[in-house]
Structure 1
Amino acid sequence: MTDASARWKQWHEDRTEAVSAPYGPLALTGTHWLHDRPDGRLADLPGTWRADGDAVVLEAGEADGLTVDGRPVTGRVRLGADSGPVADARVALGERRLVVLVREGEWAVRVYDPSSPARRAFRGISATPYDARWSVPARFTPYPDSRTVRVPNADGRTRGLALAGELAFPLEGREHTLRVAEQPDGRLWAVFADATGGKSSFRFRFLYADAPDEEGRTTADFNRAVLPPCAFAEHFLCPFPPPGNTLDLAIPAGERTLR
C-alpha cells in the first residue's frame, strides 16, 4: 500500500465515522420552513416557532420539555441562527437537537435525532479504493467578481449558489473545468456530476480542493469526491450542479453510494 492509498484509507474511515456520528447527517429527520407554518406549529415538535426579522421566536412552557442552553424554556426566547456543531445547538428536546437556520432570508428548524431510522440502518459508504490517475494537478482562475447562479436544490426549491471562479484540470487526456465556490478557509468546493451519476454513483457529488497557491495551483483529487448530505437524509437542501458542471466522462472514483 502506498502512502497515498494509506492516507486515503484513513480518510475513508474518518469520513464514515463522521457521517454516522450521533449528530451526523444520518441523524437529520426533518427541516421545517417557518413560512410554511403560519400557525407556528411544527410537526412532532412542541412550542410555537415564528420568524421575526433577524431571529426566530420560540414560545413554550416547561411541560413541553424544550431547553435552551440547557435550561427549560418557560416563555419566549429569541434565537439567532446556529453556527457551530449540531451537538452544540442551543435548543434541545431530550437527545434531539433543534438547529435554527436561515437561507436567503427564510428561517427553518432542523431536527437531528441520534435514534433516526437512517442512522440505525447505515451499513457504510461504497467507495472506490485509491487510484493515482484520479488525482491531478489543477489551476484555479477566479472571476473578477463573485457570481451567483440560481440552481435547483434537493428539496425542490431554487436558490442562489455563489461561485468564485473555475478550476481547470486534465482527465483522460482532455482538459476539463468545474465552476467552484470558495469557502471561508480558502478551500474550493464544486458540485459536479459525471457519467456514473444515477448509475453506479449517486446522481451528483461534491469535490473539495485545497486553497490554491498564489499562482492558482492546487489538486483535484476525485478519490476524495464525497456524497452530498442529501444522499444520507432527504431533508438537506443540497444544490444541484450548476451549468457547466456535468462532466461528459465517467469518474469511477471516491464515494459512490450508500451500502
Structure 2
Amino acid sequence: MSTDAQQAGRDGHEPQNWQKWHEQRVGSVSAPYGPLSLTGTHWLGDHPDGRLPAVPGSWVPDGDEVVLTAGPEDVLTVDGKPFTGSIRLTTDHAPIPESRVAHGRRRLVVLRREGLWAVRDFDPDSPARRTFEGIEATAYDPRWAVPGTFRAYPESRSVRVENADGRERGLGLGGEITFPLDGVEHTLRVAVEQDGSLWAVFADATSGNGSYRFRFLRPPAPAADGTVTVDFNRSLLPPCAFADHFICPFPPPGNTLAVEIAAGERNLRDR
C-alpha cells in the first residue's frame, strides 16, 4: 500500500479515534479524584503554625519530610487505618486514590516543588465536580494534524516562567519541534517525558478569545530520525482550567503562536 493510501486509511478512522479519545478524556476529568476534585493547594510555608484551612491535623515541614500530627478529633486515616499521633511523610507518588492520608472520602496529598512543601486536598464532592457540564472541544479536522521534526537540545535547560498561582518556577525543556501550518513553519519548545513523549505548553491567537488562555500538547515519542506527528486536535486544557488550585506553568518564551489553533479542547462547557 502506498504512503498516501496508508495516510488516507488512518485519516478515515481518525475522527472516530478522536471521538473515543475525547469521551475518555471527559471521563478521566470527571472521575472522583480527577482534576475537578482539587479544592486546595496549601503551601506549608504560608502556615508556620502547621494548621491549614479546612484540613485536619498539623502539617510541619522538617527537612526532607513533613511531620503530620493528629488527634482523634481529626478523624484521619493513614494507609487505610485510623491515625493519631505523629508520622513523617514524604512526597506522594501513588495515584491520588492511593495517597497515604485521608479524611473520609477526601485525599490529602503531600507535594514538593523546588524545595517547598504543600498539601493538596482532593474531594470527590467538590462544587466544581458537581457542576461540571463537559469540555467544549472542536471536532477532528485533518488540517490540524501535521508532520513535525524534533530536535533535542545538547543539554536540557530550564527557563523561569510564571505559574497559574502567580509564582515563578522553573520549566524544564529538552528540545524543539518544528512543523508547518498553512505553509508557514512554526516552532514549539518542549519538555521530554520519561517515556520519550513530548510536552508543550502553548498559546495561540485564540487564547483568551475562543479558547482557554493557554493549553497543553502531548505529541508521542519521536521516531529515531526525529519525525513526529503534531496533532492539535488533541490539544488539552491544563489542570488549572478545571480547578484554580493547580500551579500550571504558563507558556515559555517562543511558545505563543501567531496563528488561530481552532482545534482540540477549547474551554469548559457552560451550564
TM-score range, shorter chain: over 0.9
Identity of aligned residues (%): 64
Are 1:221 and 2:231 counterparts?
A: yes
Distance, in Å, in 1 between the alignment partners of 2:185 and 2:83 is 57
Is 2:134 the counterpart of 1:124? yes
- State the SS of the aligned residue for 1:87: helix
User: What is residue 54 of structure 2 aligned with on the other side?
Assistant: 44
| Number of the residue aligned with 2:74 | 64
The separation in 2 between residues aligned to 1:84 and 1:139, in whole angstroms, is 34
Give deviations 1:51-71, integer Å, cap 9, x for gaps: 111111100012211111011
1:85 aligns with 2:90: no
Query: Where in structure 2 are the equivalents of 1:102-251 lying within 5 Å?
Result: 102-251=112-261
Q: Quote the offset at 1:33 in angstroms.
A: 0.1
Which of 42, 45, 70 is residue 32 of structure 1 equivalent to? 42
Alignment length, in residue pairs?
Answer: 259
Q: Distance in 2 between matches of 1:175 and 1:25?
A: 34
1:133, 1:209 → 2: CA distance? 16
Corresponding residue of 2:3: none
Q: 1:2: Cα distance to partner?
A: 2.9
One-letter identity of the residue aligned with 1:156: G
Q: Which residue of 1 aligns with 2:7?
A: none
Aligned counterpart, 1:256: 266
CA shift for structure 1 position 189: 0.2
The match for 1:5 is: 15
Give the unaligned 5+ runs of structure 1. Answer: none
The CA distance in 2 between the partners of 1:154 and 1:6, in whole Å, is 34
Could you list the per-position Cα deviations for residues 141-170 of structure 1 after superposition, in whole angstroms to 9, with x for gaps in the alignment? Answer: 000010100000000000000000001111
Residues in 2 aligned to 1:87 and 1:123: alpha-carbon distance in whole angstroms:
23
Q: Which residue of 2 aligns with 1:22?
A: 32
Distance 1:62 1:68 in 2: 13
User: CA offset at residue 219 of structure 1?
Assistant: 0.7
- Partner residue, 1:54: 64
Partner of 2:4: none
Give distance in 2, aligned partners of 1:156 and 1:212.
33
Deviation at 1:213, TM superposition (A): 1.2
2-structure distance, mates of 1:70, 1:105: 28
Bigger mean CA deviation after superposition, 66-75 or 200-209: 66-75
Provide the residue aligned with 1:101 in structure 2.
Answer: 111
What is the identity, as a one-letter code, of the residue corresponding to 2:161?
A: V
Distance 1:126 1:46 in 2: 36
Q: Equivalent residue of 1:41, what SS?
A: coil
Farther-moved stretch of structure 1 (45-54 vs 8-17): 45-54
Q: Secondary structure at the match of 1:2?
A: helix
Runs ≥4 in structure 1, deviation > 6 angstroms?
Answer: none
Cα distance in 2 between the residues matched to 1:152 and 1:15: 27
Q: Deviations over 1:89-136 (max 9, x none)?
A: 110000000010100000000000000000001000000000001001
* CA deviations over 1:34-79 (Å, ceiling 9, x no partner): 0000000000011100111111110001221111101122111111
3-state SS, counterpart of residue 223 of structure 2: coil
